[in-house]
Amino acid sequence: MAAQIDLHCHSTISDGLLAPQDLVAHAAKSGIKVLALTDHDDITGLAIARDAANQHGIHFVNGVEISVTWKRRTLHIVGLKFDAENDALKSALANVRIGRDERAKQMAEGLAKAGIAGAYEGAKEISKQSIMTRSHFAQFLVKNGHAKDVKTVFKKFLVKGKPGFVEHQWMSLESAVSLITNAGGQAVIAHPGRYDLGTINMLLLMHEFRSYGGAAIEVVTGSHNPPQYQQFAKIAHRFSLKASLGSDYHGPGLSYMAMGCMPDLPVGCDPVWADWSEAQYLNVK
Ligand code: AMP
Ligand code: MN
Ligand code: MN
Ligand code: MN
């Protein structure tokens, strides 16, 4: 049976295609009973999502996915169950969003040099009021015929060494973990299998993350294949970290994985939700 919990997904507040209330409706229809909304660097969708979850009779958990720079690489740290009114968290995320806008302007400059004009305005039109992400640039570039789909456009324009890529300095790992933890939440390393770290750095990351008070890693995610579920279940166990589970759903056509289709955590994992009241229903097996 598919897992009934999903602790990683995106709405139009960041680079998802569904508005928070529509995303929650979609989750409910897909059989999800416990949901966290984890928009990139923004928590303004949580209140609407929580109301919608109440209406649909599903349990809602506050979430966010914070962009971090660690050893010159970008990592994503998911925060769960924090107080969304925490001032330090709110103002740190506001700063990240200012940085995102500056980065988007630099990305557009790079694309302009490669002969693609108007990318900032074009991506902004797609992102509407939300933060500017590479996903929005990807959609703009596909719409204007620069590649056949989002996947191809990333490879051609938006990754290291390509015209639309900007090396950006995000928050430190320690800051992200501390902000989440000090706001009463749990910090989770998102999709660890996606980082090209090598064994030594992967273990170093786990060790460092744990030392800052990190709680869990994603074991089952839309970005991992089944052998990686096993691999990261073992790593979690080795570092006494809990395990999380999320689809990383971004909406129809943009997601890595549909909602309501994720397998349960491998046997032996310690779920990050083990002592959550929201997930009691799931803990009774
Ligand atoms: P940003 O945080 O602005 O760098 O944007 C990162 C987002 O772009 C990720 O959260 C994904 O939603 C999306 N993304 C990154 N790489 C790819 C890819 N290769 N194909 C499709 N989407 C991607
Ligand atoms: Mn995204
Ligand atoms: Mn991510
Ligand atoms: Mn994500």
For residue range 152-183, what is the model confidence (pLDDT) as tens digits? Answer: 999 999 999 999 999 999 999 999 999 999 99
- With a 6 A CB cut-off, is 134 part of the ligand 1 pocket? yes
pLDDT, tens digit (0-9, with 9 covering 90-100), for 31-69: 999 999 999 999 999 999 999 999 999 999 999 999 999
Structural tokens at position 119? 């990318």
Residue nearest to atom 23 of ligand 1 (CA): 135
pLDDT of residue 171: 97
- With a 6 A CB cut-off, is 133 part of the ligand 1 pocket? yes
Q: Which atom of ligand 1 is nearest to the CA of 65?
A: 10
- With a 6 A CB cut-off, is 154 part of the ligand 1 pocket? yes
Determine the distance separating the centroid of ligand 3 and the alpha carbon of 78, expressed in angstroms: 8
Return d(Cα 248, Cα 137) in angstroms, integer. 19
Residue nearest to atom 8 of ligand 1 (CA): 135
pLDDT, tens digit (0-9, with 9 covering 90-100), for 228-280: 999 999 999 999 999 999 999 999 987 778 999 999 999 999 999 999 999 98
Which residues in the chain are classed under CATH 3.20.20.140? 5-93+171-281
Residue nearest to atom 2 of ligand 1 (CA): 133
Determine the distance separating the centroid of ligand 4 and the alpha carbon of 115, expressed in angstroms: 30
pLDDT of residue 248: 97
Which residues in the chain are classed under CATH 1.10.150.650? 99-158
pLDDT of residue 253: 80
Q: Which fold has domain 99-158?
A: DNA polymerase; domain 1 (1.10.150)
- With a 6 A CB cut-off, is 250 part of the ligand 1 pocket? yes
Q: Where are the beta strands (DSSP E) in the chain?
A: 5-6, 34-37, 59-70, 73-80, 171-172, 186-189, 216-221, 242-246
Determine the distance separating the centroid of ligand 3 and the alpha carbon of 190, expressed in angstroms: 6
Max intra-chain CA distance, the chain = 58
pLDDT of residue 256: 72
Residue nearest to atom 4 of ligand 1 (CA): 134
153-161 long-range contacts, CB within 8 A, separation 24+? 157/111, 157/114, 158/107, 158/134
**In CATH, which of 3.20.20.80, 2.40.50.700, 3.20.20.140, 3.40.50.720 is domain 5-93+171-281?**
3.20.20.140
Test site for ligand 1: of 103, 120, 135, 247, most ligand atoms within 8 A of the Cβ? 135
Which residue's structure tokens are 């991506």?
Answer: 123
Helix, strand, coil abundance in the chain, percent, nearest 5: 45, 15, 40
**Residue 285 pLDDT exceeds 80:** no
Determine the distance separating the centroid of ligand 2 and the alpha carbon of 134, expressed in angstroms: 8
**Residue 283 pLDDT exceeds 80:** no
pLDDT of residue 189: 99
pLDDT of residue 213: 98
pLDDT of residue 129: 87
Q: Is 233 in contact with 264 (CB distance < 8 Å)?
A: no
Ligand nearest to the CA of 134: 1
